[in-house]
Amino acid sequence: MIQSSGNTVLLLILCMQHSFPEPGRLYLDLILAILALELICSLICLLIYTVKIRRFNKAKPEPDILEEEKIYAYPSNITSETGF
pLDDT tens per residue, range 28-77: 899 899 999 999 999 999 999 999 999 999 988 777 777 777 777 776 66
Identify the pLDDT of residue 80: 58
Is the Cβ–Cβ distance between 51 and 19 less than 8 Å?
A: no
Map out the domains of the chain as residue ranges.
Answer: 2-73
**Helices vs strands, H then E, count in the chain:** 3, 0
Identify the pLDDT of residue 61: 78
CA 16 to CA 7: how far, in whole Å? 14
In degrees rounded to 5, what are phi and psi of residue 4? -65, -40
CA 80 to CA 82: how far, in whole Å? 5
Q: Is 75 helix (H, G, I), strand (E, B) or coil?
A: coil
The distance of Cα 55 from the centroid of its chain, to the nearest Å, equals: 17
pTM, two decimals, is 0.64
